[in-house]
Copies of this chain bind each other. A is one copy, B any other.
């Protein structure tokens, strides 16, 4: 059975972000996939890189027990889906901490022989999808505020560490969006979940 891992971090069960996560999970279940949801807030993940974690990074061995568990769960995934809100043009601290503690050498990627390149150790992963909510207009986010999800997260993290087939569903101006628009986004999230890899 194909496995989809969904990582999310919104603390409101009533948020649109949460609804997008549920829609993606439902899509994956409907298409017969095994779905594993990592809810960082509910699981009280500690996003901080402490001294031991930094030493672990240099030794290529994750130290945080919860991060090690997430790494194991990611290693079985065919599809990784991240669902989170954008606050101050960037991901929440919780999601940044997930990146810092889980995108780890010797665990989810390796450095190539010359020491500068990276290759993924997530050997089953076929695709990664990012689903975000924000209240910034799309053009402002992309052209004025640096487009950090595309450039720092997709290009500067996931592509750099060797992942392929990365897509991003950006739900912009959520607060003022129509019901019809929200329904369309939820349907897209369901389709993303249902995709076969």
On A, residues with C-beta under 8 Å from B are 11-12, 41, 47-51, 54, 87-94, 96-97, 99-100, 103, 136, 144-148, 150-153, 155-157
Q: Are B49 and A93 in contact, CB atoms less than 8 angstroms apart?
A: yes
Contact yes or no, A156 B54, CB < 8 A: no
A94 touching B48, Cβ below 8 Å: yes
Given A90-B96, A100-B93, A157-B89, check contact A11 B144 (CB 8 Å): no
A175–B151 alpha-carbon span in the complex (Å): 23
Query: Which residue from B87, B93, B146 sits with its C-beta under 8 Å from A94?
Result: B93
A-B contacts, 20 of them at CB < 8 A, read A41-B48, A41-B50, A47-B93, A48-B92, A88-B103, A88-B152, A88-B157, A89-B148, A89-B152, A89-B157, A90-B90, A90-B96, A90-B148, A90-B152, A91-B96, A92-B97, A93-B96, A146-B150, A146-B151, A148-B151
